[in-house]
């Protein structure tokens, strides 16, 4: 294990807002100018490298992961030693100016590979929770923090949710997949060849094609980027308001890849099985976790069935209920050879 390498495990923040004026909520947060977004990201210590949007939302690939901006919802996911929670106050400030009020917040992350390298308040989950509690307005009165354990010491799941009394969980589910100990041959595909004079966009497109990432959601509008000398990020826009995102830290000794997607509880659940299978086969990790946030149990029960034919065995499963987020189910898997 390297003393300290690049931290692949992301921190993820999801904020939901509401407004009384339909004229405001129609475009909502998407009215924020690029300069304002850049200021928020500057506080977090990352920048935009690429962007794509449709009539529902805007998706930004960041120097450290991703940002998704909807009219009344924002999702920021950042890796490395970024200070994600520093985005909350400026975002609330800009939202207030647009006539929007925060109604729910969800913060999630796995266990860092290099916890000692993290800056305050990401040094411990306890400090993160204190920071969240202090940054959020008092109308978010239903709060809960929990660390969901597993039998795999390197994987536990940290969840904090807060919501007002009126906010109800929606019909969307979120699947957050964290993969470690990637297949070395497959991980090499995320390195650029020395002397290649390709731009991040060009090299990213090649990696999307070569690795099979482009086949996970064949109809997706993809925004991809390759980092120099290695590493890769991708946001995909799928039918309307759905997204998927992949981030890869391929270095040996601390290799990591994440895959995240959203779906509706009314979708055909065979779709999520196929998507999950394809994503995992791109990396063939020795250890992985899947966190499913959903109001229905239909989705998480399919996860093990999708992964076991790939030689991954479910080692642990933890479940917890969160106000206004529904239930979170955290499952860990290792290859049978482990």
In the numeric block, which tokens belong to residue 132?
């969240």
CA dist 298 → 109, 216, 276, 316 (Å): 23, 21, 15, 18
Spot the catalytic one: 79, 178, 223, 294.
79
Spot the catalytic one: 247, 258, 289, 294.
247
DSSP 96-142: HHTT-EEEEEEEEE---SSGGGPPTTTT-HHHHHHHHHHHS-TT--E
Residue 251: CA count within 13 A, CB half-sphere = 15
Give CA–CA dist 88/94, Å, rounded: 10
264 assigned to active site: no
Preceding omega of 174 cis (within 30 degrees of 0): no
Give CA–CA dist 109/10, Å, rounded: 6
In the numeric block, which tokens belong to residue 11?
């921190």
233 assigned to active site: yes
Spot the catalytic one: 16, 46, 65, 103.
65
Question: Contact at 8 Å (CB) between 221 and 237?
Answer: yes
139 DSSP β-pair partners: none
158 assigned to active site: no
Spot the catalytic one: 66, 111, 233, 255.
233
Task: Mark the binding-site residues, compressed into ranges.
Answer: 6, 64, 227, 251
65 assigned to active site: yes
Task: Mark the binding-site residues for substrate, compressed into ranges.
Answer: 6, 64, 227, 251
φ, ψ of residue 132 in degrees (nearest 5): -60, -50
Positions marked active-site: 65, 79, 233, 247
């Amino acid at each position: 294990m390297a003393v300290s390498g690049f931290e692949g495990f992301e921190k993820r923040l999801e904020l939901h807002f509401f407004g009384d004026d339909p004229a405001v909520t129609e475009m909502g947060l998407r009215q924020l100018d690029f300069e304002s977004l850049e200021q928020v990201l500057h506080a977090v210590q990352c920048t935009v490298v690429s962007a794509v949007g449709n009539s529902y939302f805007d998706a930004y690939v960041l120097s450290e992961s991703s940002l998704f901006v909807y009219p009344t919802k924002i999702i920021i996911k950042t890796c490395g030693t970024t200070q994600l929670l520093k985005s909350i106050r400026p975002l609330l400030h800009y939202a207030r100016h647009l006539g929007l009020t925060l109604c729910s917040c969800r913060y999630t992350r796995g266990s860092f590979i290099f916890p000692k390298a993290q800056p305050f308040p990401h040094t411990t989950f306890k400090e993160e929770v204190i920071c969240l509690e202090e940054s959020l307005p008092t109308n978010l009165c239903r709060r809960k923090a929990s660390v969901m354990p597993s039998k795999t010491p390197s994987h536990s799941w940290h969840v904090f949710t807060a919501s007002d009394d009126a906010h109800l969980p929606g019909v969307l589910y979120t699947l957050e997949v964290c993969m470690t100990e990637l297949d070395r041959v497959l991980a090499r595909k995320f390195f650029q060849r020395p002397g290649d004079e390709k731009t991040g966009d060009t090299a990213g497109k090649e990696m999307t094609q070569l690795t099979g990432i482009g086949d996970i959601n064949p109809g997706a509008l993809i925004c991809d980027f390759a980092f120099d000398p290695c590493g890769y990020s991708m946001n995909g826009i799928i039918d309307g308001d759905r997204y998927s995102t992949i981030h890869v830290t391929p270095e040996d000794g601390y290799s990591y890849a994440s895959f995240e997607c959203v779906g509706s509880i009314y979708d055909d659940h065979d779709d999520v099985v196929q998507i999950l299978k394809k994503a995992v086969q791109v990396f063939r990790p020795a250890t992985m976790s899947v966190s499913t946030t959903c109001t229905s149990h239909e989705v998480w029960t399919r996860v093990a069935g999708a992964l076991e034919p790939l030689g991954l065995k479910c080692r642990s499963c933890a479940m917890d209920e969160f106000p206004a987020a529904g239930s979170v189910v955290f499952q860990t898997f290792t290859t049978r050879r482990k």
